[in-house]
Each structure stands twice: as structure tokens, then as C-alpha cells.
Chain A
Amino acid sequence: MIKRILYFGACGLVLAGIVHIAIILLIPTLGKRDAAKQIVDSLPELQFVELSKNSAVKIAAADPFFELAVCRFKLQEAGVQITGNDLPSFWSAAVYDGKGRVIYSMNDRTAIGKKLQILVVNPIQMAALRQLQPEELETSIVVETPIQEGFILLRAFVRDPTQKSRSEAFLNFARCSQYTGI
């Protein structure tokens, strides 16, 4: 009898291990709240969308002092060029893969000339860039990544409500386009 109970318990523990691992690995794929999945599923490509004006994407625990804009991109055909102005207060940008992992991040102090200038390319496009040496290589931060698709998220700090329009203008001015230089 004791043997049988031990046997039941052991089999149960093995199954518990499998269930545990399966749940942990499946949450990012099956979860409905996953912010990265909402962005990839519902936002248009190559266009910055301000998240406060878009109800399709809900990011939980968002910082109330920040305005966010997202541009979704694919890298199969061409690289992506992101350009924008400067904002006198803090802003930051992060390139995520389709699963919401950060590939690259920067803030206004690490930007070249304090301006938003990012070029996201895959390794093949990077090789072409190195050969052609276009002007953007000097003025942009070049992010080389093997990902197929992803998105870039801009965060602009809003110190107080009177500065909200300035932060919104910064996000409005940001452009996200296919890079045609190569």
C-alpha cells in the first residue's frame, strides 16, 4: 500500500513539473494581457501610434508622467529608419522584438546630437550598409539585430501638465519609415 502511494506521488510530482514548465513557457504565447502581443497584433506598421490615443493596446502599470508612442516594423525587406527632434526634458527609446524583449535602448543623453536618429537593420542589410557607407551611418545609431519583426517604443517625460503638448509634439514629429538608402 505504501509503495503504491509513493508511486502515485512520484508520478504526480513528475506531472506537476511538466505542468509547471508548460504554464511558465506558455504564458507569453497564450496570455491575453501581454503588451507586446497586443502591439504586434493590432497596430499598423511603420507608423508611430500614440498609446494614450489608441485603445487597442493597454499597457499595464504605465508611468503616468510619460507619453508613449509605438511603431511596429518588419525587417525582411528593408531596414527601418526612425527620426525625430529633441525634447528639452528626458526622453528614451527602446527597440523590442516581437515578444517584448529589449534589443536596444537609449535616452536623450546617449543620442547623437541629442536627436532621435536610429537605423534598425538585419545582418544582411548591415553588410550592405558597410559597403555603401551612406551618410546615415555617421548621424544615426545603427542597431543590428537578427529579429524578423519588432517595435520601437518612445517615452517622453511630462514634467507637469503644461508641458504635455510639447511632449506630444515630440512624439508627433517622430517618423518611422522604411530605409531606402541601401
Chain B
Amino acid sequence: MRILVFFLTVIAIGLTLGGVSAHLSIRQSHGIGAINVGPWSAWPFVGGAEVDPYTSARSAADGTLPLGAAEGLSFEAATDDNGTPLRQNCRYEISGKTPITRVWTLTAYSQDGAALVSNIGDVAAFHSGNIVRFADSSFIIKIDDRPSSGNWMPISGDDDFKLILRLYDTPITSNSGVIDPVMPKIVPKGCAS
């Protein structure tokens, strides 16, 4: 009897702690192997042959295929600048500049990795060639469920979401290492009740 209690306790502790810690280590946005700039995280070594097991488990569990170093680098944000999770019923302003790159794309995804599509069938996404900019090449993208002027990304719903900013053919993945990239801010502008 005593030995049974012993085994059950040990197994319960082991499975719970092991499972929870494994889940956290690959699900946390600022996880192992990431470089972080504000709310943005990138895994520059996810594509390489010397990828760490956490990063490769993460991309396998997500079902994504990493970009090669010569293709580009993708940054993911699941929170705003204050660290609050991004929610589809809230409004945001993404403002600033991206690091130097030939082409970039910004897309909103649901938690399971499907691109968010608005009621009228538009994909919630922008790229460097179809965005309206200021004279100094900075931009503001408004995430809102109601139409808005300028760069409007229509998002409506109740769930959390994430943003992925992909920089294609960018010098920041070159051998000199990833040097402090300047990333756009994600500022919350209130939520629909």
C-alpha cells in the first residue's frame, strides 16, 4: 500500500511538472533560443542545422516551416508593448519602422496559425509595397473592427491573435549576427466591450 502511494505521488509530480514545464518552454512567446525586441520575438537559428531542441520542437508543434537565413527572418508578437496579450476585440496602432529589408510582410494569425480573414474576405495583412507611409518612411497600421483611414487592418472576433512580421532578404541575418533591430511599436487603443 505504502509503495503504491509512493509510486502514484512520484508519477503525478513527474507528469505534471514535466508536462507543464515542456509546454511553457515552447509556448512562451519569449521562449528559449529567441531574440526579443519589445513584444517581438525571432528565432534566427530555427532554420539552421544546429537548431536547439526547444526551437525545433516549437516549429514542429506549430506546423510551420522556418525561413532560411538567406530568405529572411520572421518576428512574432503575441502581446502589445505593455505585455498584454493581443485580442481580436481590441484596437491597436502599429507604428514606426522595420529594420532594413527588401520586402516585408505583416500578417495577423489566429492562435493555431490560420491567417485572419475579415468579414468582407480580406486577409488581415500588409506588405512593404502596398502600405501608405510618411515622408520619413515610417508608417502607422490601425487594427480595428470598424473602417479607418490610412492603413487599416480589419480584425474582429473574441480570441487572442498574433502578428508575424517577416523580413525577406534582410542584412540583419548575415554572419555579423543580429544587431539590435528597430521594430514597430504595438500600442493598444482600447477594446470593444
Contacts and interface: CB of A to CB of B under 8 A. Distances in A.
Nearest to B14: A15
B63 A60 contact: yes
A2 B48 CA distance: 48
Interface residues on A, range: 35 or more
Interface in B45-97: 47-49, 51, 53-54, 56-57, 59-72
A47 B115 CA distance: 27
A24 B169 contact: no
Give the interface SS of chain B, mostly helix, strand, loop or mixed. Answer: mixed
A83 interface: no
B47 A101 contact: yes
Interface residues of B, number: 56
A151 B17 CA distance: 37
Interface string B19-57: 101100110000000000000000000011101011011
B107 A63 contact: yes
Contacts of B54: 24
Contacts of A153: 65
Interface string A35-53: 1110000000000000000
Give the interface SS of chain A, mostly helix, strand, loop or mixed. Answer: mixed
Contacts of A100: 56, 59-60, 65-66
A92 B72 contact: yes
A120 B163 CA distance: 35
B170 to A, nearest CB: 10
15 contacts: A13-B13, A16-B18, A18-B14, A28-B60, A60-B112, A61-B64, A61-B107, A62-B115, A63-B166, A66-B105, A90-B103, A99-B56, A100-B59, A101-B56, A159-B130
